[in-house]
Structure 1
Amino acid sequence: MKLLYRWLFVVAVAWVVADRAESAQSKASARIDRLVFNKLDELGIPPSDPCSDEVFLRRVYLDMTGTLPTRKEARLFLASNGTNKRDELIEDLFERPEFADYWALKWCDLLRVKAEFPSKLWPNAVQAYHRWVRTALFNNMPYDEFARAMLTSSGSNFRVAPVNFYRAMPKREPESIAQIVALTFMGMRTDSWKPEDRKGMAAFFGSVGYKGTAEWKEEIVFFDPTKSYVDPETKKPVEARLPDGTVIELSSTRDPRLDFSDWLVDSNVFAHNVVNRIWYWLLGRGIVHEADDIRDDNPPQNAALLDFLSKELVASNYDLRHIYRIILNSKVYQLASIHNEGNLSDEANFSRYYVRRLGAEVLIDAICQITKTTESYSSQIPEPFTFIPEKERSIKLSDGSITSPFLDLFGRPPRDTGYESERNNTPSSSQKLHMLNSSHIQLKILNNKELVGMYFEKQDGTDKKGNAKKPRTAWHPPEKTIENMYLSILSRYPTAQEKRTALAYFHESDSRTEAGVDVAWALLNTKEFIYKH
């Protein structure tokens, strides 16, 4: 009996804790809404209406996992009448392996994870680095620990993966290292800084040493107390100065990277940078925009919002998922992308969800998922040749050197600089022609006979030899085929008008296959499919 009471007590406590956590999360999401909507009121800009369940379903899958919902997943979500089904879907997506895959892709773009020029990490280090980043995101490593690991680690680039942060740099001089540190963890571009400020920060990285080993392409990154940063012009040692102007006296026995990291994780700019990037990744525009251009003369669109998100990050012990969660559950994130008369020209105040094209990797993965096909990926300069399994999804590619003609055409970043602007999502005529007129897309659609309405019907009985009869080719009614296409490609049911138009085309066509291919191809070329909205 005592055991039963103890179990009931534990369950009751767990419920209370969960309720409090949910309440705190709801309050934080509501705070986001108030800060954004109050700013819109000041500017006289009305927000758009809330988005529909169909739109939310597709949007949140793509924004959280870079993956379309399957037809079955779409049916289940749209059929649910649960009042908390959006919150529950968000929690479910956090646990999907695609969540870690997709956000590892984002971070590896930023960290320039690439075997070949200019990073020249080489394949072994790329695999180790990507695996470490993905594991950290999957396990929800606190962001301060994630950053410290890269900034302060020493050891073999094959065995201590975070040290590859210091290897993925085309130039390893202290000023170049400081420039990349500022861009990555502060969202700042040091080319606009005063020379003495750049040199002062570079002094913290003057003792970073590199040495090779007998193993091919292995390199050790370490603290070398015999080194310090010397001004290339005056030939004199440079005093270490933090970005806030504070001068630090460095110890000859302590790695100065530790001093810089201690200051960084306690600074406002550290939290501001990462919450601003997350907002940019989810909403399509940073509170400070560009997302990697934080400076005094580029103020945040909503300073109170940026401060609030930063404080939430610190209060949650640098839990990045907490920031995702409160943004995704906010009314601001769940606004429709359709403008109204009052917010047509608004491109900076988040009065609606900003429409943007799917990234190259997400787009080709979506096409392959719908058509049940695969892609081939390779490197122009493989050293050594890297084999990519046929079924590997594009968002799981660890190496920026491994690519395909489709990824190149649709603006996948080359991972040369770490700037957000490296990813080019601007539509082009070449992209439109490829989607509309290429054998690449046509053959993919033809590959999936089930998509265009064909299935195999089981036959009863046996043949003349006494074997069970093989399934025979059959066709779904056009109505079911059309519904399945819309759920597979657009994650929603067709409207009555869309169904009538598609049915008319099926009935007028001489070939069921051609009619199915044409309708599927038409849907793949809609803005609704190619864009997030």
Structure 2
Amino acid sequence: MGIAPAAAASLFETSGPTTTANDIDQAVRRRLNRLKLAAAPPCSDAVFLRRAFLDLIGTLPTADEARQFLNWNKANKRIALVNQLLSREEFVQYWGMKWCDLLRVKAEFPINLWPNAAQAYDRWIRESVRENKPYDHMVRELLTSSGSNFRVGPVNFYRAMQSNTPRDIASTVALTFMGERVDRWPAERLDGLAVFFSCVGFKGTREWKEEVVYFDSVKAVDEQANGNLAKAVFPDGTPASLDGQVDPREVFADWLICRENASFARCAANRIWFWLFGRGIVHEPDDFRSDNPASCPELLNTLEKKLIASKYDCRELIRFIVSSQTYQQSPVPRSDSQQADTQFACYPLRRLEAEVLIDAICGITDSTESYSSAIPEPFTFIPEQQRSIELPDGSITSSFLEMFGRPPRDTGMANERNNQPTSAQRLHMLNSSHIRRKIERSESMKTLIAKFQKNPVQGAAEIYLTVLSRYPTDVELAVVEQYAKGSIGKRRAAFDLVWALMNSSEFLYRH
């Protein structure tokens, strides 16, 4: 196995464009020019490889996958890699996890879906991602479906709330699909939206904890008779015409997802951008309001139009974003201005999500995790081989996930996930027996350590490819060789190298 030469200028950058500029890049560059901010150069192939794997499938590349990409001479290999990743099952699981966070898939308090309903909801969400269901179709099903919450996954949208009064439903709808927090709305605006959900009925069955969500046509007739349906007003201020015969949810869904309603596509596009960059063009992605404007309005308009033109194909929008020069920038800013991050003059650094981090650690060490739930039901049993990004219920968790900021899924708000590093997290990675045992007991680590003992240079290269998805630089190799020659011994030196790389910012952070 050969050792690739170190990057000429920087480990994280390369010279020259790596892809053709698209409409995203033109919008961002115009904004940067007006603000006199310099854009970062393109990232290196090694950085792009790791970034694309983590952002698209929440998974690290294997050493073989890293080696193949880094040694691949295909002209458009980055685009080819993106297309491969978008077709992998891990894409379904990882992006399904993101939608599950937003849609509050959780069995226990305060959501109280119960395990079998949570799993039905989770299956519907991930299957929608798998079949690349258009986003507007997906939202329409969430808003208008009726049936058992154990059997009809999307009806759990109405169950996955801390309260299901019409006003509370309206608040959740505005937050989820319009990115607006109704605590800043005038009362009459919320009341006008709540009318559309005043005829949502809930009834139990003989099966324990099962509930049927339906359009209560009897109540609709009464609501029409007393004039309440006439009070329905769309969030843009347009009065609605409800006759009591048609489910008001369908009328609202028609308004929400129509192509002329820019707020729907704008919110969705901004959320997808947020999931890829860790920062929304409107930030937070659920805080659209007049006094929180988009950092780059032209960019948001570009994404909105792209999503509508693609007929709400989220996968196509993701491909469009990841193929841009803006996404493929180095994480090292060319300006000290705080606006470099907000204006996307470089790729924003951020810590790996709790689920992705523990999956990465388990993948490197071919180990497993144990998960548990406060609900003692068979539905909450999770095989240890299952990855964290595949967990079907927010109440199934582990001490690691809790420590590293996994969201509780109580509200669906983006700020529920806490990716801020803490001293407890650092100590756990540095000193815990949990991490040490994974390395010491790993058969794949034993194989790598054996390679290192035979040839420290070749072994170090394989360890770097496994942990950091890149080849070591000449300087790094020299340090490793020197350390291996010391009294500590080659076996201990190899173990320490794995441990040190897993505790490095380069491993713990997206870059």
Query: Which residue does 2:173 correspond to in 1?
Result: 181
> RMSD across aligned C-alpha pairs, in angstroms?
2.1
Q: Contact 1:202 / 1:229 at 8 angstroms: preserved in 2?
A: no
Amino acid at match of 2:506: E
Of the three residues 88, 100, 111, the one matched with 2:80 is: 88
Query: Which residue does 1:337 correspond to in 2?
Result: 331
Amino acid at match of 1:176: D
C-alpha separation between the residues in 1 aligned to 2:161 and 2:222?
20
C-alpha separation between the residues in 1 aligned to 2:205 and 2:111?
19
1:136 aligns with 2:128: yes
Q: What is the CA deviation profile of residues 464-506 of structure 1, one whole-angstrom value per residue up to 9, with x for unaligned ones?
A: xxxxxxxxx9954211221111001100000001011111111
Q: Contact 2:143 / 2:157 at 8 angstroms: preserved in 1?
A: yes
Equivalent residue runs for 1:43-442 within 5 Å: 43-227=35-219, 239-266=231-258, 267-341=261-335, 343=337, 346-383=340-377, 386-442=380-436
Percent of matched pairs sharing the same residue: 53
C-alpha separation between the residues in 2 aligned to 1:490 and 1:50?
19
Cα distance, 1:510 vs. partner? 3.6
Q: Contact 1:155 / 1:163 at 8 angstroms: preserved in 2?
A: yes
C-alpha separation between the residues in 2 aligned to 1:405 and 1:369?
18
Q: Contact 2:452 / 2:458 at 8 angstroms: preserved in 1?
A: no
Amino acid at match of 2:91: F
C-alpha separation between the residues in 1 aligned to 2:454 and 2:471?
17
| Partner-residue secondary structure (3-state), 2:445 | coil
Q: Contact 1:288 / 1:300 at 8 angstroms: preserved in 2?
A: yes
Cα distance, 1:214 vs. partner? 1.0
| Partner-residue secondary structure (3-state), 2:212 | strand
Deviates more, 1:515-524 or 1:361-370: 515-524
Query: Which residue does 2:12 correspond to in 1?
Result: none
C-alpha separation between the residues in 1 aligned to 2:141 and 2:448?
53
C-alpha separation between the residues in 1 aligned to 2:169 and 2:54?
34
Cα distance, 1:250 vs. partner? 1.1
Query: Which residue does 2:490 correspond to in 1?
Result: 512
C-alpha separation between the residues in 1 aligned to 2:360 and 2:182?
38
C-alpha separation between the residues in 2 aligned to 1:345 and 1:453?
46
- Which one has the largest radius of gyration? 1
Compared CA separation, residues 454 and 101, structure 1 to 2 (3 A): closer
Compared CA separation, residues 504 and 94, structure 1 to 2 (3 A): same
Q: What is the CA deviation profile of residues 260-294 of structure 1, one whole-angstrom value per residue up to 9, with x for unaligned ones?
A: 00000021111001100011111121110111101
Deviates more, 1:246-255 or 1:488-497: 246-255
Structure 1 regions of 5+ residues with no counterpart? 1-25, 457-472
Cα distance, 1:127 vs. partner? 1.2
Cα distance, 1:312 vs. partner? 1.2
Cα distance, 1:238 vs. partner? 6.8
C-alpha separation between the residues in 1 aligned to 2:20 and 2:143?
31
Query: Which residue does 2:502 correspond to in 1?
Result: 524
Q: Contact 2:53 / 2:59 at 8 angstroms: preserved in 1?
A: yes
Q: Contact 2:329 / 2:347 at 8 angstroms: preserved in 1?
A: yes
1:481 aligns with 2:459: yes
Cα distance, 1:383 vs. partner? 4.1
Amino acid at match of 1:486: Y
C-alpha separation between the residues in 2 aligned to 1:488 and 1:275?
34
| Partner-residue secondary structure (3-state), 2:252 | helix
1:40 aligns with 2:32: yes
Q: What is the CA deviation profile of residues 90-139 of structure 1, one whole-angstrom value per residue up to 9, with x for unaligned ones?
A: 00001110000000100000111001011111111111111111111111
C-alpha separation between the residues in 1 aligned to 2:270 and 2:416?
18
C-alpha separation between the residues in 1 aligned to 2:476 and 2:446?
16
C-alpha separation between the residues in 2 aligned to 1:228 and 1:308?
41
| Partner-residue secondary structure (3-state), 1:221 | strand
Cα distance, 1:251 vs. partner? 1.4
Cα distance, 1:405 vs. partner? 0.4
Compared CA separation, residues 450 and 163, structure 1 to 2 (3 A): closer
C-alpha separation between the residues in 1 aligned to 2:309 and 2:20?
12
Cα distance, 1:217 vs. partner? 1.6
Compared CA separation, residues 509 and 240, structure 1 to 2 (3 A): farther
Query: Which residue does 2:474 correspond to in 1?
Result: 496
Cα distance, 1:512 vs. partner? 3.4
**What is the TM-score normalised by the length of structure 2?**
0.92
C-alpha separation between the residues in 2 aligned to 1:344 and 1:54?
27
C-alpha separation between the residues in 1 aligned to 2:401 and 2:69?
31
Compared CA separation, residues 242 and 81, structure 1 to 2 (3 A): same
Amino acid at match of 1:50: P
C-alpha separation between the residues in 2 aligned to 1:29 and 1:227?
55
C-alpha separation between the residues in 2 aligned to 1:498 and 1:489?
14
Amino acid at match of 1:172: N
Compared CA separation, residues 454 and 192, structure 1 to 2 (3 A): closer
Cα distance, 1:81 vs. partner? 1.2
C-alpha separation between the residues in 1 aligned to 2:337 and 2:446?
40
Cα distance, 1:311 vs. partner? 1.2
Compared CA separation, residues 211 and 110, structure 1 to 2 (3 A): same
Cα distance, 1:381 vs. partner? 3.4
Compared CA separation, residues 230 and 377, structure 1 to 2 (3 A): farther
Cα distance, 1:341 vs. partner? 3.8
Amino acid at match of 1:514: R
Higher RCO (CA-CA < 8 Å; seq separation 6+): 2
Structure 2 regions of 5+ residues with no counterpart? 1-17
Compared CA separation, residues 383 and 30, structure 1 to 2 (3 A): same
Amino acid at match of 1:277: R
Amino acid at match of 2:200: V
Compared CA separation, residues 94 and 516, structure 1 to 2 (3 A): same
Deviates more, 1:335-344 or 1:235-244: 235-244
Query: Which residue does 1:470 correspond to in 2?
Result: none
Amino acid at match of 1:497: V
Q: Contact 1:413 / 1:422 at 8 angstroms: preserved in 2?
A: yes
Q: What is the CA deviation profile of residues 178-211 of structure 1, one whole-angstrom value per residue up to 9, with x for unaligned ones?
A: 0111111111111110000001000000000001
Query: Which residue does 1:13 correspond to in 2?
Result: none
Compared CA separation, residues 229 and 35, structure 1 to 2 (3 A): farther
